[in-house]
Structure 1
Protein backbone atom coordinates (compact mmCIF):
# COMPACT_ATOMS: atom_id res chain seq x y z
CA UNK A 1 0.00 0.00 0.00
CA UNK A 2 1.31 3.44 -0.93
CA UNK A 3 1.36 6.12 1.77
CA UNK A 4 1.34 9.83 0.97
CA UNK A 5 1.86 12.89 3.14
CA UNK A 6 0.04 16.12 2.20
CA UNK A 7 0.67 19.60 3.54
CA UNK A 8 -2.22 21.97 2.92
CA UNK A 9 -0.32 25.16 2.17
CA UNK A 10 -3.47 27.23 1.73
CA UNK A 11 -7.18 26.39 1.89
CA UNK A 12 -7.02 25.33 -1.76
CA UNK A 13 -3.39 24.33 -2.45
CA UNK A 14 -1.23 21.54 -1.07
CA UNK A 15 1.95 19.57 -1.65
CA UNK A 16 1.88 15.76 -1.55
CA UNK A 17 4.85 13.44 -1.17
CA UNK A 18 5.04 9.68 -1.32
CA UNK A 19 6.46 8.46 1.97
CA UNK A 20 8.64 5.48 2.77
CA UNK A 21 8.74 5.54 6.55
CA UNK A 22 7.67 7.43 9.66
CA UNK A 23 10.60 7.80 12.02
CA UNK A 24 8.98 9.75 14.83
CA UNK A 25 5.79 11.52 15.89
CA UNK A 26 4.93 13.30 19.13
CA UNK A 27 2.99 16.19 20.56
CA UNK A 28 5.48 18.48 22.26
CA UNK A 29 4.64 21.25 24.69
CA UNK A 30 4.24 23.60 21.73
CA UNK A 31 3.32 21.66 18.58
CA UNK A 32 2.81 18.40 16.72
CA UNK A 33 6.20 17.10 15.57
CA UNK A 34 6.85 14.44 12.93
CA UNK A 35 9.92 13.11 11.17
CA UNK A 36 9.13 11.16 8.02
CA UNK A 37 11.04 9.80 5.03
CA UNK A 38 9.86 10.74 1.53
CA UNK A 39 10.90 9.32 -1.82
CA UNK A 40 11.55 12.69 -3.48
CA UNK A 41 12.98 14.83 -0.67
CA UNK A 42 14.37 12.32 1.80
CA UNK A 43 13.89 12.85 5.52
CA UNK A 44 11.42 15.63 6.28
CA UNK A 45 10.75 17.54 9.51
CA UNK A 46 7.09 18.50 9.90
CA UNK A 47 5.67 20.79 12.60
CA UNK A 48 1.91 21.19 12.98
CA UNK A 49 1.44 19.66 9.55
CA UNK A 50 3.84 22.09 7.86
CA UNK A 51 7.12 21.11 6.19
CA UNK A 52 10.04 22.79 7.95
CA UNK A 53 13.01 21.23 6.22
CA UNK A 54 14.05 18.28 4.08
CA UNK A 55 17.38 16.67 3.34
CA UNK A 56 17.04 17.33 -0.39
CA UNK A 57 16.41 21.10 -0.43
CA UNK A 58 17.33 22.41 3.04
CA UNK A 59 20.57 23.94 1.80
CA UNK A 60 18.74 26.65 -0.13
CA UNK A 61 16.92 28.08 2.87
CA UNK A 62 19.77 27.74 5.34
CA UNK A 63 22.36 29.26 3.03
CA UNK A 64 20.17 32.18 2.01
CA UNK A 65 19.06 33.19 5.49
CA UNK A 66 22.67 33.21 6.72
CA UNK A 67 25.25 34.04 4.05
CA UNK A 68 23.43 37.03 2.58
CA UNK A 69 23.51 39.01 5.87
CA UNK A 70 26.86 37.61 7.01
CA UNK A 71 28.63 38.64 3.81
CA UNK A 72 26.84 41.99 3.83
CA UNK A 73 28.29 42.72 7.28
CA UNK A 74 31.94 43.76 7.23
CA UNK A 75 33.12 41.70 10.21
CA UNK A 76 30.47 39.55 11.91
CA UNK A 77 31.71 38.02 15.13
CA UNK A 78 28.57 37.12 17.08
CA UNK A 79 25.35 35.83 15.53
CA UNK A 80 21.97 34.79 16.90
CA UNK A 81 19.42 32.43 15.37
CA UNK A 82 15.90 32.62 16.77
CA UNK A 83 14.06 29.39 16.03
CA UNK A 84 15.87 27.10 13.65
CA UNK A 85 16.02 24.17 16.05
CA UNK A 86 17.08 21.83 13.23
CA UNK A 87 20.50 23.54 13.34
CA UNK A 88 20.90 24.24 9.62
CA UNK A 89 21.41 27.99 10.02
CA UNK A 90 23.99 27.39 12.74
CA UNK A 91 25.85 24.98 10.45
CA UNK A 92 26.15 27.71 7.82
CA UNK A 93 27.06 30.50 10.25
CA UNK A 94 30.14 28.79 11.63
CA UNK A 95 31.55 28.41 8.12
CA UNK A 96 32.53 32.08 8.47
CA UNK A 97 36.01 32.40 10.00
CA UNK A 98 35.19 35.74 11.64
CA UNK A 99 32.40 34.19 13.75
CA UNK A 100 33.49 33.76 17.34
CA UNK A 101 30.10 32.75 18.77
CA UNK A 102 26.77 31.59 17.36
CA UNK A 103 23.74 31.37 19.63
CA UNK A 104 20.66 29.28 18.86
CA UNK A 105 17.51 30.22 20.78
CA UNK A 106 14.75 27.67 20.10
CA UNK A 107 11.56 27.56 22.16
CA UNK A 108 10.92 23.84 21.61
CA UNK A 109 13.78 21.72 22.85
CA UNK A 110 12.27 18.60 21.33
CA UNK A 111 12.86 19.99 17.84
CA UNK A 112 16.56 20.20 18.67
CA UNK A 113 16.74 16.69 20.11
CA UNK A 114 14.78 15.04 17.29
CA UNK A 115 16.90 16.87 14.69
CA UNK A 116 20.08 15.66 16.37
CA UNK A 117 18.77 12.11 16.30
CA UNK A 118 17.37 11.95 12.77
CA UNK A 119 18.90 14.87 10.84
CA UNK A 120 22.64 14.75 11.58
CA UNK A 121 23.40 16.25 8.16
CA UNK A 122 21.60 19.43 9.25
CA UNK A 123 22.18 19.52 13.01
CA UNK A 124 25.86 18.59 12.85
CA UNK A 125 27.17 21.93 14.16
CA UNK A 126 25.01 22.25 17.28
CA UNK A 127 27.76 20.73 19.44
CA UNK A 128 30.51 22.93 17.99
CA UNK A 129 32.60 24.81 20.55
CA UNK A 130 31.54 28.16 19.04
CA UNK A 131 27.84 27.37 19.48
CA UNK A 132 25.60 28.06 22.47
CA UNK A 133 22.17 26.42 22.45
CA UNK A 134 19.43 28.09 24.49
CA UNK A 135 16.04 26.45 24.90
CA UNK A 136 13.75 29.40 25.48
CA UNK A 137 11.54 32.17 24.14
CA UNK A 138 13.32 34.17 21.44
CA UNK A 139 11.29 37.30 22.20
CA UNK A 140 12.33 37.18 25.84
CA UNK A 141 15.93 36.46 24.85
CA UNK A 142 16.41 39.49 22.62
CA UNK A 143 14.78 41.74 25.22
CA UNK A 144 17.40 40.59 27.72
CA UNK A 145 20.42 41.03 25.41
CA UNK A 146 21.01 44.59 24.27
CA UNK A 147 23.67 45.83 21.83
CA UNK A 148 25.21 42.37 21.65
CA UNK A 149 24.91 40.79 18.20
CA UNK A 150 26.31 41.61 14.78
CA UNK A 151 23.73 39.55 12.90
CA UNK A 152 20.38 38.10 13.97
CA UNK A 153 18.39 35.61 11.86
CA UNK A 154 14.74 34.86 12.63
CA UNK A 155 14.37 31.29 11.40
CA UNK A 156 10.75 30.90 12.43
CA UNK A 157 7.84 28.69 11.54
CA UNK A 158 4.77 30.20 9.89
CA UNK A 159 3.02 33.02 11.81
CA UNK A 160 0.76 30.73 13.80
CA UNK A 161 0.96 29.25 17.30
CA UNK A 162 4.25 29.95 19.13
CA UNK A 163 5.64 31.93 16.17
CA UNK A 164 2.96 34.64 16.00
CA UNK A 165 4.96 37.09 18.10
CA UNK A 166 7.98 36.71 15.82
CA UNK A 167 6.18 38.73 13.11
CA UNK A 168 5.29 41.73 15.32
CA UNK A 169 6.77 45.23 15.14
CA UNK A 170 7.57 45.18 18.87
CA UNK A 171 9.73 42.14 18.28
CA UNK A 172 11.59 43.87 15.46
CA UNK A 173 12.20 46.82 17.79
CA UNK A 174 13.68 44.45 20.37
CA UNK A 175 15.90 42.96 17.66
CA UNK A 176 17.05 46.44 16.67
CA UNK A 177 18.08 47.07 20.27
CA UNK A 178 19.80 43.70 20.52
CA UNK A 179 22.01 44.48 17.52
CA UNK A 180 25.23 46.45 17.66
CA UNK A 181 25.44 49.85 15.97
CA UNK A 182 26.22 48.26 12.58
CA UNK A 183 24.04 45.16 13.03
CA UNK A 184 21.90 43.34 10.48
CA UNK A 185 18.78 41.24 10.89
CA UNK A 186 17.01 38.88 8.49
CA UNK A 187 13.67 37.13 8.83
CA UNK A 188 11.98 34.60 6.60
CA UNK A 189 8.80 36.24 5.33
CA UNK A 190 6.87 33.56 3.46
CA UNK A 191 5.70 33.29 -0.17
CA UNK A 192 5.14 36.30 -2.46
CA UNK A 193 2.36 34.31 -4.11
CA UNK A 194 0.46 33.26 -0.99
CA UNK A 195 1.37 35.81 1.69
CA UNK A 196 1.36 39.20 0.00
CA UNK A 197 -0.17 41.12 2.92
CA UNK A 198 2.30 39.62 5.38
CA UNK A 199 5.29 40.61 3.26
CA UNK A 200 4.04 44.17 2.89
CA UNK A 201 3.34 44.50 6.62
CA UNK A 202 6.69 43.06 7.73
CA UNK A 203 8.61 45.16 5.22
CA UNK A 204 6.92 48.37 6.39
CA UNK A 205 7.43 47.48 10.06
CA UNK A 206 11.12 46.80 9.50
CA UNK A 207 11.47 49.95 7.37
CA UNK A 208 10.05 52.03 10.22
CA UNK A 209 13.01 50.94 12.38
CA UNK A 210 16.00 50.30 10.12
CA UNK A 211 17.59 52.84 7.75
CA UNK A 212 18.21 50.11 5.16
CA UNK A 213 15.47 47.57 4.40
CA UNK A 214 15.65 45.05 1.58
CA UNK A 215 13.56 42.12 0.36
CA UNK A 216 15.15 39.17 -1.42
CA UNK A 217 13.89 35.86 -2.75
CA UNK A 218 14.93 32.35 -3.71
CA UNK A 219 13.45 29.04 -4.88
CA UNK A 220 12.66 26.35 -2.27
CA UNK A 221 10.70 23.43 -3.74
CA UNK A 222 8.97 22.20 -0.57
CA UNK A 223 7.85 25.61 0.71
CA UNK A 224 4.47 27.05 -0.32
CA UNK A 225 4.54 27.98 -4.04
CA UNK A 226 8.24 27.05 -4.22
CA UNK A 227 9.16 30.75 -4.12
CA UNK A 228 10.26 32.28 -0.82
CA UNK A 229 11.13 35.69 0.59
CA UNK A 230 13.41 37.13 3.25
CA UNK A 231 13.34 40.63 4.71
CA UNK A 232 16.57 42.30 5.82
CA UNK A 233 16.92 45.26 8.15
CA UNK A 234 20.38 46.83 8.39
CA UNK A 235 21.66 49.68 10.52
CA UNK A 236 24.62 50.50 8.29
CA UNK A 237 25.49 48.08 5.49
CA UNK A 238 23.56 47.85 2.23
CA UNK A 239 23.73 44.40 0.60
CA UNK A 240 23.60 46.08 -2.79
CA UNK A 241 26.92 47.77 -2.02
CA UNK A 242 28.72 44.57 -0.99
CA UNK A 243 32.03 44.04 -2.76
CA UNK A 244 31.20 40.63 -4.16
CA UNK A 245 34.72 40.23 -5.57
CA UNK A 246 35.98 40.00 -1.99
CA UNK A 247 33.53 37.27 -0.94
CA UNK A 248 35.57 34.09 -0.40
CA UNK A 249 34.52 30.72 -1.72
CA UNK A 250 32.90 28.63 0.99
CA UNK A 251 31.23 25.25 0.95
CA UNK A 252 27.75 26.03 -0.42
CA UNK A 253 25.32 24.59 -2.95
CA UNK A 254 23.04 27.57 -3.66
CA UNK A 255 24.61 30.78 -2.41
CA UNK A 256 27.54 32.22 -4.34
CA UNK A 257 29.05 35.69 -4.80
CA UNK A 258 27.40 36.03 -8.21
CA UNK A 259 23.88 35.79 -6.77
CA UNK A 260 24.47 37.94 -3.68
CA UNK A 261 23.07 41.06 -5.32
CA UNK A 262 20.90 39.39 -7.95
CA UNK A 263 18.47 38.00 -5.36
CA UNK A 264 17.46 41.59 -4.58
CA UNK A 265 16.31 42.10 -8.18
CA UNK A 266 12.63 41.44 -7.71
CA UNK A 267 9.93 40.53 -10.22
CA UNK A 268 7.59 43.47 -10.65
CA UNK A 269 4.71 41.89 -8.74
CA UNK A 270 7.02 41.33 -5.76
CA UNK A 271 8.60 44.78 -5.97
CA UNK A 272 5.10 46.25 -5.97
CA UNK A 273 4.48 44.66 -2.56
CA UNK A 274 7.19 46.78 -0.94
CA UNK A 275 6.99 50.08 -2.80
Structure 2
Protein backbone atom coordinates (compact mmCIF):
# COMPACT_ATOMS: atom_id res chain seq x y z
CA UNK A 1 0.00 0.00 0.00
CA UNK A 2 2.94 2.33 0.55
CA UNK A 3 3.06 5.38 2.82
CA UNK A 4 0.18 7.85 3.05
CA UNK A 5 -0.04 11.33 4.55
CA UNK A 6 -3.38 12.40 6.00
CA UNK A 7 -4.31 15.92 6.98
CA UNK A 8 -7.07 15.64 9.57
CA UNK A 9 -9.20 18.61 8.58
CA UNK A 10 -11.87 18.04 11.25
CA UNK A 11 -12.31 15.41 13.96
CA UNK A 12 -14.24 13.33 11.42
CA UNK A 13 -12.73 14.16 8.01
CA UNK A 14 -9.35 14.37 6.32
CA UNK A 15 -7.56 14.37 2.98
CA UNK A 16 -5.00 11.69 2.10
CA UNK A 17 -2.15 11.58 -0.39
CA UNK A 18 0.25 8.77 -1.25
CA UNK A 19 3.84 9.69 -0.34
CA UNK A 20 6.88 8.41 -2.21
CA UNK A 21 9.33 9.79 0.34
CA UNK A 22 10.00 12.55 2.83
CA UNK A 23 12.48 15.06 1.43
CA UNK A 24 12.96 17.02 4.63
CA UNK A 25 11.50 17.12 8.12
CA UNK A 26 12.34 19.26 11.14
CA UNK A 27 10.89 21.15 14.06
CA UNK A 28 11.73 24.81 13.50
CA UNK A 29 11.56 27.52 16.14
CA UNK A 30 7.91 28.06 15.16
CA UNK A 31 6.37 24.89 13.73
CA UNK A 32 6.83 21.37 12.40
CA UNK A 33 7.98 21.58 8.77
CA UNK A 34 8.00 18.76 6.25
CA UNK A 35 8.51 18.52 2.51
CA UNK A 36 6.90 15.40 1.03
CA UNK A 37 7.26 13.96 -2.45
CA UNK A 38 3.75 12.77 -3.29
CA UNK A 39 2.48 10.60 -6.12
CA UNK A 40 -0.45 12.84 -7.09
CA UNK A 41 0.58 16.41 -6.21
CA UNK A 42 4.35 16.52 -6.63
CA UNK A 43 6.36 18.05 -3.80
CA UNK A 44 4.17 19.21 -0.93
CA UNK A 45 4.94 21.68 1.86
CA UNK A 46 3.37 20.67 5.18
CA UNK A 47 3.40 22.84 8.32
CA UNK A 48 2.06 21.46 11.62
CA UNK A 49 0.47 18.59 9.66
CA UNK A 50 -1.45 20.98 7.38
CA UNK A 51 -0.92 21.16 3.61
CA UNK A 52 0.38 24.61 2.67
CA UNK A 53 1.10 24.16 -1.02
CA UNK A 54 1.83 21.55 -3.68
CA UNK A 55 3.59 21.77 -7.01
CA UNK A 56 0.50 20.68 -8.94
CA UNK A 57 -2.22 23.03 -7.63
CA UNK A 58 -0.27 25.93 -6.06
CA UNK A 59 -1.01 28.28 -8.95
CA UNK A 60 -4.68 28.68 -8.00
CA UNK A 61 -4.06 30.07 -4.52
CA UNK A 62 -1.09 32.23 -5.45
CA UNK A 63 -2.71 33.74 -8.54
CA UNK A 64 -5.98 34.52 -6.77
CA UNK A 65 -4.36 36.09 -3.71
CA UNK A 66 -2.16 38.29 -5.90
CA UNK A 67 -3.98 39.27 -9.07
CA UNK A 68 -7.43 40.14 -7.77
CA UNK A 69 -6.13 43.06 -5.63
CA UNK A 70 -3.37 44.02 -8.07
CA UNK A 71 -5.81 44.44 -10.96
CA UNK A 72 -8.26 46.25 -8.68
CA UNK A 73 -5.64 48.86 -7.72
CA UNK A 74 -4.98 51.24 -10.65
CA UNK A 75 -1.21 51.48 -10.12
CA UNK A 76 0.33 49.23 -7.44
CA UNK A 77 3.97 50.15 -6.92
CA UNK A 78 4.93 48.85 -3.46
CA UNK A 79 3.48 45.55 -2.27
CA UNK A 80 3.81 43.69 1.03
CA UNK A 81 3.29 39.95 1.45
CA UNK A 82 2.95 38.80 5.06
CA UNK A 83 3.80 35.11 5.35
CA UNK A 84 4.11 33.26 2.08
CA UNK A 85 7.66 32.09 2.60
CA UNK A 86 7.23 29.57 -0.22
CA UNK A 87 7.44 32.55 -2.60
CA UNK A 88 4.42 31.78 -4.78
CA UNK A 89 2.58 35.05 -4.17
CA UNK A 90 5.76 37.05 -4.76
CA UNK A 91 6.21 35.27 -8.09
CA UNK A 92 2.73 36.39 -9.15
CA UNK A 93 3.16 39.95 -7.85
CA UNK A 94 6.21 40.44 -10.04
CA UNK A 95 4.15 39.78 -13.17
CA UNK A 96 2.81 43.33 -12.76
CA UNK A 97 5.27 45.76 -14.33
CA UNK A 98 3.98 48.67 -12.21
CA UNK A 99 5.35 46.97 -9.07
CA UNK A 100 8.65 48.59 -8.19
CA UNK A 101 9.21 46.78 -4.88
CA UNK A 102 7.76 43.66 -3.28
CA UNK A 103 8.49 43.04 0.39
CA UNK A 104 8.14 39.54 1.84
CA UNK A 105 7.87 39.28 5.64
CA UNK A 106 8.06 35.66 6.81
CA UNK A 107 8.54 34.73 10.47
CA UNK A 108 10.10 31.31 9.76
CA UNK A 109 13.26 31.47 7.67
CA UNK A 110 13.27 27.69 7.32
CA UNK A 111 10.15 27.88 5.14
CA UNK A 112 12.04 30.14 2.74
CA UNK A 113 15.19 27.98 2.83
CA UNK A 114 13.51 24.67 2.05
CA UNK A 115 11.02 26.11 -0.42
CA UNK A 116 13.96 27.38 -2.47
CA UNK A 117 15.54 23.92 -2.31
CA UNK A 118 12.53 21.68 -2.93
CA UNK A 119 9.92 24.00 -4.52
CA UNK A 120 12.03 26.03 -6.99
CA UNK A 121 9.18 26.64 -9.45
CA UNK A 122 7.28 28.34 -6.62
CA UNK A 123 10.13 30.08 -4.78
CA UNK A 124 12.29 31.03 -7.75
CA UNK A 125 11.34 34.71 -7.78
CA UNK A 126 12.49 35.39 -4.23
CA UNK A 127 15.94 36.38 -5.51
CA UNK A 128 14.54 38.95 -7.96
CA UNK A 129 16.07 42.42 -7.60
CA UNK A 130 12.66 43.95 -6.89
CA UNK A 131 12.14 41.68 -3.86
CA UNK A 132 13.18 42.42 -0.28
CA UNK A 133 12.93 39.44 2.09
CA UNK A 134 12.61 40.07 5.83
CA UNK A 135 12.66 37.17 8.28
CA UNK A 136 10.66 38.71 11.10
CA UNK A 137 7.23 38.92 12.71
CA UNK A 138 4.62 40.17 10.25
CA UNK A 139 2.38 41.57 12.97
CA UNK A 140 5.21 43.75 14.29
CA UNK A 141 6.28 44.81 10.79
CA UNK A 142 2.75 46.03 10.13
CA UNK A 143 2.66 47.85 13.47
CA UNK A 144 5.82 49.80 12.54
CA UNK A 145 4.66 50.72 9.02
CA UNK A 146 2.64 53.83 8.17
CA UNK A 147 1.16 54.82 4.79
CA UNK A 148 3.82 52.74 3.07
CA UNK A 149 2.15 50.13 0.86
CA UNK A 150 -0.24 50.18 -2.09
CA UNK A 151 -1.30 46.57 -1.54
CA UNK A 152 -0.87 44.25 1.45
CA UNK A 153 -1.48 40.50 1.06
CA UNK A 154 -1.68 38.19 4.06
CA UNK A 155 -0.59 34.70 3.03
CA UNK A 156 -0.83 33.01 6.41
CA UNK A 157 -1.36 29.51 7.70
CA UNK A 158 -4.58 28.74 9.54
CA UNK A 159 -4.99 30.66 12.84
CA UNK A 160 -2.77 28.45 14.98
CA UNK A 161 0.71 29.01 16.39
CA UNK A 162 2.55 32.06 14.99
CA UNK A 163 -0.41 32.96 12.70
CA UNK A 164 -2.99 33.57 15.45
CA UNK A 165 -2.32 37.32 15.62
CA UNK A 166 -2.86 37.62 11.85
CA UNK A 167 -6.59 36.99 12.31
CA UNK A 168 -7.32 39.77 14.80
CA UNK A 169 -9.10 43.11 14.46
CA UNK A 170 -6.00 44.86 15.77
CA UNK A 171 -4.01 43.43 12.89
CA UNK A 172 -6.51 44.67 10.32
CA UNK A 173 -6.48 48.12 11.91
CA UNK A 174 -2.68 48.09 11.69
CA UNK A 175 -2.90 47.13 8.03
CA UNK A 176 -5.20 50.10 7.41
CA UNK A 177 -2.53 52.42 8.81
CA UNK A 178 0.28 50.69 6.90
CA UNK A 179 -1.56 51.14 3.61
CA UNK A 180 -1.58 54.34 1.61
CA UNK A 181 -4.92 56.15 1.62
CA UNK A 182 -6.04 54.31 -1.52
CA UNK A 183 -4.41 51.00 -0.57
CA UNK A 184 -5.94 47.53 -0.79
CA UNK A 185 -5.69 44.62 1.64
CA UNK A 186 -6.45 40.94 1.03
CA UNK A 187 -6.10 37.82 3.18
CA UNK A 188 -6.82 34.16 2.81
CA UNK A 189 -9.78 33.43 5.07
CA UNK A 190 -10.13 29.65 5.06
CA UNK A 191 -13.21 27.71 3.98
CA UNK A 192 -16.95 28.01 4.67
CA UNK A 193 -17.60 24.30 5.25
CA UNK A 194 -15.44 23.78 8.32
CA UNK A 195 -14.51 27.32 9.41
CA UNK A 196 -17.78 29.22 9.06
CA UNK A 197 -17.37 30.98 12.42
CA UNK A 198 -13.86 32.13 11.51
CA UNK A 199 -15.10 33.49 8.18
CA UNK A 200 -17.93 35.39 9.85
CA UNK A 201 -15.61 36.90 12.47
CA UNK A 202 -12.94 37.93 9.97
CA UNK A 203 -15.51 39.49 7.67
CA UNK A 204 -17.03 41.46 10.54
CA UNK A 205 -13.61 42.64 11.74
CA UNK A 206 -12.43 43.69 8.28
CA UNK A 207 -15.72 45.48 7.64
CA UNK A 208 -15.19 47.51 10.82
CA UNK A 209 -11.94 48.78 9.29
CA UNK A 210 -12.59 49.01 5.54
CA UNK A 211 -15.79 50.47 4.02
CA UNK A 212 -15.44 48.21 0.98
CA UNK A 213 -15.18 44.61 2.15
CA UNK A 214 -15.69 41.76 -0.32
CA UNK A 215 -15.28 37.99 -0.17
CA UNK A 216 -14.28 35.90 -3.17
CA UNK A 217 -13.59 32.21 -3.73
CA UNK A 218 -11.40 29.77 -5.63
CA UNK A 219 -11.21 26.01 -6.03
CA UNK A 220 -8.07 24.55 -4.45
CA UNK A 221 -8.28 20.74 -4.26
CA UNK A 222 -5.66 20.12 -1.55
CA UNK A 223 -7.16 22.69 0.87
CA UNK A 224 -9.93 21.70 3.29
CA UNK A 225 -13.19 21.18 1.35
CA UNK A 226 -11.65 22.52 -1.88
CA UNK A 227 -13.66 25.74 -1.64
CA UNK A 228 -11.37 28.51 -0.40
CA UNK A 229 -12.17 32.11 0.47
CA UNK A 230 -10.29 35.39 0.40
CA UNK A 231 -11.39 38.67 1.99
CA UNK A 232 -10.50 42.03 0.48
CA UNK A 233 -10.66 45.42 2.16
CA UNK A 234 -10.40 48.86 0.56
CA UNK A 235 -11.25 52.47 1.29
CA UNK A 236 -11.76 53.49 -2.34
CA UNK A 237 -11.51 50.77 -4.98
CA UNK A 238 -14.26 48.23 -5.59
CA UNK A 239 -13.07 45.00 -7.27
CA UNK A 240 -16.18 44.79 -9.44
CA UNK A 241 -15.87 48.34 -10.73
CA UNK A 242 -12.53 47.85 -12.47
CA UNK A 243 -12.41 49.29 -15.97
CA UNK A 244 -11.98 46.74 -18.76
CA UNK A 245 -8.97 48.78 -19.91
CA UNK A 246 -7.24 48.01 -16.61
CA UNK A 247 -6.83 44.32 -17.44
CA UNK A 248 -3.82 43.18 -19.43
CA UNK A 249 -2.59 39.75 -20.39
CA UNK A 250 -0.32 37.92 -17.97
CA UNK A 251 0.91 34.34 -17.79
CA UNK A 252 -1.61 32.52 -15.58
CA UNK A 253 -3.25 29.10 -15.31
CA UNK A 254 -6.36 30.00 -13.27
CA UNK A 255 -6.90 33.76 -13.04
CA UNK A 256 -8.54 35.58 -15.96
CA UNK A 257 -10.50 38.79 -16.34
CA UNK A 258 -13.67 36.70 -16.36
CA UNK A 259 -12.63 34.87 -13.17
CA UNK A 260 -11.90 38.24 -11.53
CA UNK A 261 -15.55 39.16 -11.94
CA UNK A 262 -17.06 35.71 -11.39
CA UNK A 263 -15.19 34.85 -8.19
CA UNK A 264 -17.24 37.39 -6.24
CA UNK A 265 -20.47 35.54 -7.05
CA UNK A 266 -20.88 33.59 -3.81
CA UNK A 267 -22.94 30.48 -3.13
CA UNK A 268 -25.91 31.50 -0.98
CA UNK A 269 -24.69 29.74 2.16
CA UNK A 270 -21.39 31.64 1.89
CA UNK A 271 -23.17 34.90 1.17
CA UNK A 272 -25.31 34.33 4.26
CA UNK A 273 -22.16 33.95 6.36
CA UNK A 274 -20.93 37.36 5.30
CA UNK A 275 -24.38 39.00 5.31
CA UNK A 276 -23.60 40.49 1.89
TM-score tier by shorter-chain length is: over 0.9
Aligned residues: 275
* 1:246 Cα offset (Å): 3.3
* 1:145 Cα offset (Å): 1.1
Distance in 2 between the 1:267 and 1:8 partners? 25
1:224 and 2:230 aligned? no
8 Å Cα contact 1:105-1:133 kept in structure 2: yes
Q: Tell me the residue number matched to 1:72.
A: 72
Q: Tell me the residue number matched to 2:156.
A: 156
8 Å Cα contact 2:71-2:246 kept in structure 1: no
8 Å Cα contact 1:24-1:34 kept in structure 2: yes
8 Å Cα contact 1:244-1:258 kept in structure 2: no
8 Å Cα contact 1:148-1:180 kept in structure 2: yes
Q: Tell me the residue number matched to 1:193.
A: 193
Q: Tell me the residue number matched to 2:168.
A: 168
1:132 and 2:132 aligned? yes
* 1:245 Cα offset (Å): 4.6
| Secondary structure of the corresponding residue to residue 207 of structure 1 | helix
Q: Tell me the residue number matched to 2:265.
A: 265
Q: Tell me the residue number matched to 2:147.
A: 147
Structure 2 gap ranges (5+): none
1:116 and 2:139 aligned? no
Distance in 2 between the 1:219 and 1:17 partners? 18
The 10-residue stretch of structure 1 (244-253 or 120-129) with the greater mean CA deviation from structure 2 = 244-253
Q: Which runs of 4+ in 1 moved over 4 A?
A: none
Q: Tell me the residue number matched to 1:8.
A: 8
8 Å Cα contact 2:74-2:246 kept in structure 1: no
8 Å Cα contact 1:79-1:99 kept in structure 2: yes
Query: TM-score by structure 2 length?
Result: 0.99
Distance in 2 between the 1:232 and 1:41 partners? 29
Distance in 1 between the 2:229 and 2:254 partners? 15
Distance in 1 between the 2:145 and 2:230 partners? 24
